[in-house]
Structure 1
Amino acid sequence: MKEMERSSGVLMHLSSLPNQYGIGTLGKDAWEFVDFLAETNQRLWQILPVGPTGYGNSPYQSYSVFAGNLLFISLEQLVEDGLLEDDRLAQLPEMSVHQVEYDLVLQEKTLVLREAYENFKLNFDDWKEDYYTFLGEHSWWLTDYALFRALKTDNDDLCWNAWPDKLRKRDSHVIDMALLEQDDEVNYHRFVQFIFFRQWFQLKNYANSKGVLIFGDLPLYVSLDSSDVWGNPDIFELDEQGQMTRVGGVPPDYFSETGQYWGCPVFDWDRLAEREYDWWAARIHFNLRMFDLVRIDHFRGLESFWSIPASEETAINGTWVPAKGREMLRLLKTQLGDLPVVAEDLGIITPEVEALRDAFGLPGMKVLQFAFAGDETDVNLPHNYGTNFAVYTGTHDNDTTLGWLKSATKQERKSLKKYYRGSWSSMHHRLLESAWASVARIAIVPMQDLLELDGKHRMNTPGTVENNWEWRMEWKMLKKSQRDFLAELTRKYNRVVNVQ
């Protein structure tokens, strides 16, 4: 990656933004969050994947790696655009401002978007130029996705591998007939994506005008129940019936004694090579248009991956299998030049993974919560960093820093006190400050850590499916002293970027 200026930012997903409509959106609160970042000298707004989610609401299990999540569409913006009546939002039920109520939000938002779609059709002449431009840019993935969603609804929401054979195997005549029969439903899903991307790029352009870059997240794997796998079954390890033969995950580690069994298909890297990595290339190009910088989640899976027999119940009995990420990244570098990519290289990392990361000049990651269980040689301790890293107090998979401090082991507490030599009550701020003071080129703080919130506010607990991805911020949580602290820290440690 082209050397990025010394800078800093905040990690907070769109779903966590404040508003009264049950989930964060691309609307005015997102724009106000950009203002907050600009006012506190932050260069980066890091978010999680923005695709449409299914069971468990995980942004890392999406129906498409290209589509946007309808839950993030701003209904207020639809009113301003004339696609909803002025009083429509007043008819919505009261929703929590403390956590995302996914089922209720999806139910209500779908009803409202269906109404907006009908109004869109009635006033199509006002929209057709922008709409047809959008279709021209996106039909290469959008037609498959829209049909996938229509057929999924028509088949009792079953995974595509449980559909009738000719649909499952994408018989061309049957697919053409389905597009005709499902025409209105397919067009509804096209409309939703048109609105999502319209609002997305309005927000991104505003952020960029304020000197704020959007830092996106690209999961290595995709969900079996997705238009991506339905449309490209040959690049995944599946049997003739579309069932997974091997699944992805990680072996036992810091997060779980039984590892993580992700339940998503692994890639057939030989077939990807035969296709000259076309699917991956399209994905990277697409994401680098959407975002200014992209994190590849589970980067080590591009060097080798933990492959688990699909019949297993845990990740313990997997094996490491070599991947062909070097060839794929080499191809992308010839197409793009420098790759604005950060490698999520946490967990069991080998010299081969580090060599792959360094061969393409990609920044790796350091997490302070991992730094105090060992001795002074621990690679996550600030004095051991190189410059080409992004340092975090914690990630979306960690407890908040306050929560972690409360549950720290005796060894960690001893190491923390020795390292920072301050009172325990100031430890939270000292951790954050040491991230900003480090030589790592990028420093990121999760919003919960800036707000000094405890473990009740963590975003995700790996290996569990309940009560994740629900945390939401309220503006009243953000104190002036916290704004000032972040702004001053960024000045003090030379992370202010002068944007022309």
Structure 2
Amino acid sequence: MSNRKSGILLHITSLPGREGIGTLGKEAKRFVDFLTETGQKLWQILPLGPVGSGNSPYQCFSAFAGNPMLIDLELLVEQGLLSEGNLEQIAKFSKKQVDFEKIAGWKYPVLKKAFKRFQEELFEGFRNEYYHFLDEHGWWLNDYALFMAAKEKYGDIIWSDWDDDLKYRRETGLQQVGKELANEVDFQRFVQFLFFMQWHSLKRYANENNVKIVGDVPLYVSGDSSDIWSNTDIFLLDEKLEPTQIGGVPPDYFSETGQLWGNPVFDWPRLKERNYDWWMARLHFNLNMFDLVRIDHFRGLESYWSVPVEEETAMNGKWVPAYGYEMLSLIKSQIGYLPFIAEDLGIITTEVDRLREHFDLPGMKVLQFAFTTDAANKDLPHNYEKKFVVYTGTHDNNTTLGWIDEVEEDEKDLLWKYVSGTDKKMLEQVVEMAIASVAETAIVPMQDILELDTNSRMNTPGTATGNWGWRFDWKQLKMGQKTFLKELTEKYNR
């Protein structure tokens, strides 16, 4: 039996719908129908957590919680938690871009109304399911709910600037704030209950239609997160709980000064002492959420670039060994086969390749990186082995049409040896290269199916604003595009 399969990369926020942001409701199920209709077996998304400033799903307030903005309000009307009247004031949001702040300003008060009705009228109907959820998720949820309630109380400042009793999690501080903010803490728990109820309903629907969901786990967590606040000992922090070292990557082809991400780095010896319990919980949790999991910045499990916190660029860091081999061996001993994809883009050493190969994990190939050198380029399909996932581009790349339009002169010569014709024809040929390749899995961003240009790019690394907001509309999807995708999928046995 062939393992060949293909799928689409589209984050939930990019789905159409009238709430100004994609949600877990009927439009998400309609997208599953589109995948089934065109023979796709995978739907890849970005991390689902509650985003902080900059709206990046890679910088969340929790590695476990779901983003409340993705909750579908029409489903809450069906459950009686809201009335149609609660949605009458639905703002006229853009169909093309997510206005994150405007949506949060409108949606949180509506979710508060649902919470009030839940408390006052409908609690009995949800009692068993709700208590089961609290019981199953309490190990991360209680800290997260208190963290978010305290963030609101303190006007959204970073947790390391909170009052000492709460910052250092002294029993008196936790109890006092827990009591003072009890209703807000309960609201945060309730919102997560709604999120996970809707998520698992969507995942069930996808799986019933033979579509698997590929989730995404960033290696690092945000400095301003409940994860760090409630697990300070597994990160390199000083006595004031400020980071001493932060993560990033050294200078390379893309950046002369490297990239400085600002995330606190793990204290791997301490993780080992704790038998990697936090990582085990995180991986098991994600494998329960998704069918396959992409590990972002996989090379950081072999060794990571550690930069002193006072540095202004990533230039003066050093490589420090991580204990990924031990950690992955432990999870493998618990579950057997590892359904992970290793994000191994950028400059990768033999040690990283060896780690990936030891655990039989597929790496990534990106066609937009394939034309920078010559015919021996490792991202060109004729140089692949099967154990890879090939992408035309990722969420960090331009759309393929935008890339073709802006491709560097020296890359053009090599590109034109493989594709020709109009920009649109070239795009179709690049998509075909991915789907035709020997790589077991091929993933195409939705923008490339819709033949969209640079204006529909999801993220430009190194820029702090204007990212993550792209959305599509069903009107953009033409019958010819669906036929093209379906026929390619059948032609190349995906």
TM-score w.r.t. the length of structure 2 is 0.98
Q: How does 1:49-448 map to 2 (within 5 A)?
A: 49-122=47-120, 123-420=122-419, 425-448=424-447
Q: Shift of the alpha carbon at 1:178?
A: 2.3
Separation in structure 1 between the aligned mates of residue 55 and residue 473 of structure 2, nearest angstrom: 21
Separation in structure 1 between the aligned mates of residue 198 and residue 64 of structure 2, nearest angstrom: 15
Q: Shift of the alpha carbon at 1:4?
A: 8.3
- Which position in structure 2 is the counterpart of 1:498? none
- For the 8 Å contact 1:417–1:424, the answer to whether it is kept is no
Q: Shift of the alpha carbon at 1:138?
A: 0.4
State the superposition RMSD in angstroms: 1.2
Q: Structure 1 stretch 419-428 or stretch 310-319: which is displaced more?
A: 419-428
Q: Shift of the alpha carbon at 1:92?
A: 2.0
Which one-letter code corresponds to 2:50 in the other structure?
Answer: P
Separation in structure 2 between the aligned mates of residue 148 and residue 423 of structure 1, nearest angstrom: 53
Deviations 1:179-211 (A, max 9, x none): 222211110000000000000000000000000
Question: Which SS does the other structure have where 1:45 is aligned?
Answer: strand
Separation in structure 1 between the aligned mates of residue 256 and residue 51 of structure 2, nearest angstrom: 27
Separation in structure 1 between the aligned mates of residue 72 and residue 424 of structure 2, nearest angstrom: 40
Question: Which SS does the other structure have where 2:466 is aligned?
Answer: coil
Separation in structure 1 between the aligned mates of residue 406 and residue 257 of structure 2, nearest angstrom: 21
Deviations 1:147-197 (A, max 9, x none): 011111112211111111111111123212322222111100000000000
- For the 8 Å contact 2:165–2:172, the answer to whether it is kept is no
- Which position in structure 1 is the counterpart of 2:450? 451
1:25 and 2:7 aligned = no
The alignment-based identity, stated in percent, is 59
Separation in structure 1 between the aligned mates of residue 410 and residue 12 of structure 2, nearest angstrom: 36
- For the 8 Å contact 2:259–2:313, the answer to whether it is kept is yes
Question: Which SS does the other structure have where 1:49 is aligned?
Answer: coil
- For the 8 Å contact 1:369–1:401, the answer to whether it is kept is yes
- For the 8 Å contact 2:215–2:292, the answer to whether it is kept is yes
- Which position in structure 1 is the counterpart of 2:42? 44
Separation in structure 1 between the aligned mates of residue 46 and residue 382 of structure 2, nearest angstrom: 29
Separation in structure 2 between the aligned mates of residue 353 and residue 115 of structure 1, nearest angstrom: 50
Which one-letter code corresponds to 2:75 in the other structure?
Answer: Q
Q: Shift of the alpha carbon at 1:11?
A: 0.1
1:463 and 2:433 aligned = no
Separation in structure 2 between the aligned mates of residue 231 and residue 196 of structure 1, nearest angstrom: 22
Which one-letter code corresponds to 2:367 in the other structure?
Answer: L
Deviations 1:70-102 (A, max 9, x none): 000001111111011122212122111110000
Deviations 1:363-392 (A, max 9, x none): 000000000010111100000101000000
Q: Shift of the alpha carbon at 1:263?
A: 0.8
Separation in structure 1 between the aligned mates of residue 378 and residue 8 of structure 2, nearest angstrom: 23
- For the 8 Å contact 1:398–1:461, the answer to whether it is kept is yes
Q: Shift of the alpha carbon at 1:252?
A: 2.5
Separation in structure 2 between the aligned mates of residue 222 and residue 36 of structure 1, nearest angstrom: 33
- Which position in structure 2 is the counterpart of 1:15? 13
Q: Shift of the alpha carbon at 1:260?
A: 1.5
Separation in structure 1 between the aligned mates of residue 252 and residue 334 of structure 2, nearest angstrom: 36
Separation in structure 2 between the aligned mates of residue 338 and residue 176 of structure 1, nearest angstrom: 42
- For the 8 Å contact 1:256–1:463, the answer to whether it is kept is no
Deviations 1:277-327 (A, max 9, x none): 000000000000000000000000000111111112222222111111000
Which one-letter code corresponds to 1:338 in the other structure?
Answer: Y
Separation in structure 1 between the aligned mates of residue 111 and residue 57 of structure 2, nearest angstrom: 21
Alignment size in residue pairs = 493
- For the 8 Å contact 1:58–1:469, the answer to whether it is kept is yes
Q: Do the aligned partners of residues 205 and 101 (structure 1) sit closer, same or farther apart at CA in structure 2, a change above 3 Å counting?
A: same
Question: Which SS does the other structure have where 1:53 is aligned?
Answer: coil
- For the 8 Å contact 2:404–2:423, the answer to whether it is kept is no
- For the 8 Å contact 2:233–2:270, the answer to whether it is kept is yes
Separation in structure 2 between the aligned mates of residue 26 and residue 258 of structure 1, nearest angstrom: 40
Q: Shift of the alpha carbon at 1:254?
A: 4.3
Separation in structure 1 between the aligned mates of residue 238 and residue 452 of structure 2, nearest angstrom: 46
Q: Shift of the alpha carbon at 1:453?
A: 0.5
Separation in structure 1 between the aligned mates of residue 424 and residue 455 of structure 2, nearest angstrom: 19
Separation in structure 1 between the aligned mates of residue 116 and residue 392 of structure 2, nearest angstrom: 46
Which runs of no fewer than 5 residues in structure 1 stay unpaired?
496-500
Question: Which SS does the other structure have where 1:470 is aligned?
Answer: coil
Question: Which SS does the other structure have where 1:263 is aligned?
Answer: strand
- For the 8 Å contact 1:255–1:462, the answer to whether it is kept is no
Which one-letter code corresponds to 1:78 in the other structure?
Answer: L
Separation in structure 2 between the aligned mates of residue 451 and residue 424 of structure 1, nearest angstrom: 14
Q: Do the aligned partners of residues 409 and 118 (structure 1) sit closer, same or farther apart at CA in structure 2, a change above 3 Å counting?
A: same
Deviations 1:309-354 (A, max 9, x none): 1112222222111111000000000011101000000001000000
Question: Which SS does the other structure have where 2:319 is aligned?
Answer: strand
Q: Do the aligned partners of residues 4 and 213 (structure 1) sit closer, same or farther apart at CA in structure 2, a change above 3 Å counting?
A: farther
Question: Which SS does the other structure have where 1:353 is aligned?
Answer: helix
Which one-letter code corresponds to 1:463 in the other structure?
Answer: G
Question: Which SS does the other structure have where 1:391 is aligned?
Answer: strand
- For the 8 Å contact 1:6–1:442, the answer to whether it is kept is yes
Separation in structure 1 between the aligned mates of residue 444 and residue 423 of structure 2, nearest angstrom: 20
Which runs of no fewer than 5 residues in structure 2 stay unpaired?
none
Question: Which SS does the other structure have where 1:448 is aligned?
Answer: helix
Deviations 1:23-71 (A, max 9, x none): 0000110000000001000000000000000110000000000000000
Separation in structure 2 between the aligned mates of residue 254 and residue 471 of structure 1, nearest angstrom: 27
